[in-house]
Amino acid sequence: MSVKQQSQHVGLIKQKARSEKMSNKKDVKKEKELLNEKFKSVCEDWQSIYKELIKGQKEIQKEGVALENPEYRNEFKKAFQSNEYKNGMSIYKQSVKLIKDYQNNLIDYGKICHQMHDLEQQIYGKRKEIKDKPSYIKSSKTFKRLNYKEGFAVKALKNSYKKFYPNEVSSVISTINDLADTANVKLHLRNEQEISQALNNLLPAVRRDGQKDKQNLNLGNKVEQARKNAGSTRNSSVQKRPHQVR
């Protein structure tokens, strides 16, 4: 093979490599666009369930205020003791359904946050393949339109228990569960530990840089401390107003 032929051969190899690289980038861009569309859809799901949780939290807090009324509380208690709830006729069935729906929504909220984070990482990887840039936030049209910040999903998931299962909510659920247990009625409501563990299990175990997420390990301790604080608050209320049962 002459020098000219060798040069032409090398040129053809380079041209083929460039063509394959461009074709590969086009495929990656298509994959990234599909991920962007999926991400937008998941963000809409997040906004929808977030609104449902806010609404449910307010309704549960209203139930808590009602339970402070001794007359309402006694009627609630009688409904369980008379097997009214077991027969599906209780006027308080709606309150129990409210709590079950709320707990289910909170777990679904955690799953959506997990999915958002997973898609975020996939989009990040595709963008890096295309432009080899360390961050996609500053120039991503998708995230700009959504006003999305990198790492938002993980932050929302980490704060989910604190935000949606404060003492004002957990104490109401515990009170209703205790009233049912006293009458040997099983409501099958999740306790605080089950809720916290379910959310904790959805947290990513490893960050993008491969470092362990230490806050993952601390969530259980925070939940336990919150539970103790809730118990302390209830005891304090009883001491101040012994005539009123919480």
Q: Which DSSP string do the residues of 109-167 spell out, in sequence order? A: HHHHHHHHHHHHHHHHHHHHHHH--S-STTT-HHHHHHT--TTHHHHHHHTHHHHHS-H
Per-residue pLDDT at 208: 39
What does the alpha-carbon distance between residue 139 and residue 142 come to, in Å, rounded to a whole number? Answer: 9
Domain span at 154? 24-240
For residue 148, how far is the Cα from the chain centroid? 16
> ∠ CA 72-74-80 to the nearest 5 degrees?
110
- Report CA 49 to chain centroid distance, whole Å: 9
Burial class from Cβ neighbours inside 10 Å (0-12, 13-18, 19+) for residue 146 reads: middle
Examine residue 130 and state whether it is found in any structural domain, yes or no. yes
Tell me if 51 is assigned to some domain. yes
pLDDT digits (tens), the chain, 246 positions: 565 555 655 555 555 555 555 557 788 888 888 998 999 999 999 999 999 999 999 999 999 999 999 999 888 888 888 877 766 667 678 889 999 999 999 999 999 999 999 998 888 888 888 776 555 555 567 777 787 888 899 999 999 999 999 999 999 999 999 998 988 888 889 999 999 999 999 998 744 344 344 444 445 555 555 555 555 544 444 343 333 222
Question: What burial class does residue 205 get, using C-beta atoms within 10 Å of its C-beta: 0-12 exposed, 13-18 middle, 19+ buried?
Answer: exposed
Is residue 240 packed enough to be buried (19+ CB in 10 Å), middle (13-18) or exposed (0-12)?
exposed
Specify the DSSP class assigned to residue 206.
Answer: B
Specify the number of domains making up the chain: 1
Q: What is the pTM of this model?
A: 0.72
pLDDT of residue 143: 76
Residue with tokens 């910040």: 149
Q: Are 105 and 52 in contact (CB under 8 A)?
A: yes
Name the one residue in this structure whose structure tokens are 């939940």.
223
Residue 219 neighbours by CB distance under 10 Å: 20
Q: How many residues does the chain have?
A: 246
In a domain, 246, yes or no: no
In a domain, 57, yes or no: yes
Q: What's the pLDDT at 29?
A: 85
Is 9 domain-assigned?
Answer: no
* Geometric angle at alpha carbon 42, from 123 and 140, rounded to 5°: 35
